[in-house]
Amino acid sequence: MLDLADNYASLERYNIQPAKSSVTVFHMSNKAQNHLDCWTLGSNPLPVSQTFTHLGLTRFSMEVKDGAITEKVKLARRTAYALMGTGLHGRNGLPAAVSLKIYKSYVLPRLLYGLEAMNLDSKQLRELDQYHIRFLRQIQSLPDRTARCGVFILLGTVPMEALYHLAILSLLGRIFRANNVFITELAIRQTSVHDTNSKSWFIKAAKTLQHYGLPPIHSLAENPPTKDQWRNTCKRAVFSFWKEELTNQAVNKSTLINLSLDVNIGTPHPLWQDVNAALFDIKKAIVKAKLVTKTYTLQINKHKFNKYRVDPRCPLCGRDVETLNHFLLHCSSLHREREYNLAKISEYINRVSDTSTWIYIREDDFRAVRFIIDCSNFSDTIPALKKVHVLQHLEHLSRNLCYDLHTRRAAILSVCSRDVQVMSRDVQVMSRT
Ligand SMILES: [Zn+2]
């Protein structure tokens, strides 16, 4: 190949710049690896480099192939960091739904640029996904232990694997719409001749089509769909697959028992809808998001990690174990805040539905907690909740309830910890005297 290039340059009477030419090896058999240093262009030996940049895309040799992903993640991290001034940092920043839009518009395109042309393996996809999920947790101010599927369901988005597949399908559509006979024949020949273990890009694309139940390559080559048709078809297929996948994963998570699994990919959960950019509103939504994903730390959670030293009883009233039910429905120290907010919720429920609805919700603790945590759980049983504005208003009221309980609890605990500090200081002074 190098000789051909050199001969052609000689015939056309131009010189290939030797200082700017180098060889980067992507695939090579074990036998050929012994000849790595023997590349020549005419009589000039060519250096072997690990990386080169073409059309803005940096390609890496087979020895440092993971470097491409690491560089991409670094680039995405730098982009996100540059956007921090706009409030893209979770707590004290913008609401998660707005942050997600900014992330999709500015960070994801830079992260995924050019990757659709590469045949990524599972390790490389995992590295990309780790960055993706960490970012989505950060903009919701959720801790690292939050269940993955819960993070995606709350924001109504999909994992990195789905985004990578969408990029591959989009490129495939562009290839067939270009009506290039040579490439179309190449695609059909490769998918007909190669087996499924091949590293051919078209085999990867064919497997992606099969994975989402889309038409095979030869059918697309015969009748290439229009740009809009293909984009909508791919989105529908990929989103419906991941909707089912995320729902199945969430069913098995004990921490997501109170989260409604009526997943709608492309639309954030009601919790993140209708959240104003005001700091106060965002704090309320963050507390609610932690309660929904069971990452809000109560005394029972601390006790699970240290059974001998931590008392599971409620530090506020000391009467019962501090579980989610106790915190939301029974703790006597939070009675005033709870009754004030529950009265508002019951009044609104009685206005939009019949009076038996609130009685039905309150007669069972499990049901009441599920309603407070995520009222969209009852969209099927309470017809009034099918209306979006009713659901959003109830979400707003329950968010207020959770936040008032949280702030009152934090205030009592801070007073208690201050008293304990004063007492321990007095004891130290007495022991010295
Ligand atoms: Zn209590």
Residue 169: CB partners within 8 Å, gap ≥ 6? 205, 208, 209, 212, 214, 230, 234, 238
How many whole angstroms from its chain centre is CA 296? 20
Phi first, then psi: what are they for 334, rounded to 5°?
-110, 15
The predicted structure's pLDDT at residue 355: 86
Distance 407 CA to ligand 1 centre (A): 14
The DSSP 8-state label assigned to residue 224 in this structure reads: P
Distance 301 CA to ligand 1 centre (A): 15
Phi first, then psi: what are they for 178, rounded to 5°?
-70, -15
How many whole angstroms from its chain centre is CA 115? 18
The predicted structure's pLDDT at residue 39: 79
Ion ligand 1 — residues with CB < 5 Å: 314, 316-317, 331
The predicted structure's pLDDT at residue 90: 75
Helix (H) / strand (E) element for 418: namely helix 388-432
Count CB atoms within 10 A of the CB of residue 330: 17
The predicted structure's pLDDT at residue 31: 61
Distance 335 CA to ligand 1 centre (A): 10
* Closest to 187 in 3D by CA, of 216, 163, 160: 216
Distance 398 CA to ligand 1 centre (A): 19
The predicted structure's pLDDT at residue 117: 87
Alpha-carbon span 287 to 141, nearest angstrom: 9
Say what the pTM is.
0.85
Apex 165 CA angle, 164 and 166, nearest 5: 90
Report the SS3 class of residue 386. Answer: helix
Domain locations in the chain? Answer: 1-49, 64-286, 297-432
Distance 257 CA to ligand 1 centre (A): 23
The predicted structure's pLDDT at residue 27: 67
The predicted structure's pLDDT at residue 40: 80
One-letter amino acid for residue 365 of the chain: D
Decide: residue 414, CB within 10 A, 0-12 exposed, 13-18 middle, 19+ buried.
exposed
The predicted structure's pLDDT at residue 34: 61
Which regions in the chain score pLDDT beneath 70? Answer: 27-37, 56-57, 61-66, 419-433
Which neighbouring-strand residues pair with 321?
313
Report the SS3 class of residue 58. Answer: strand
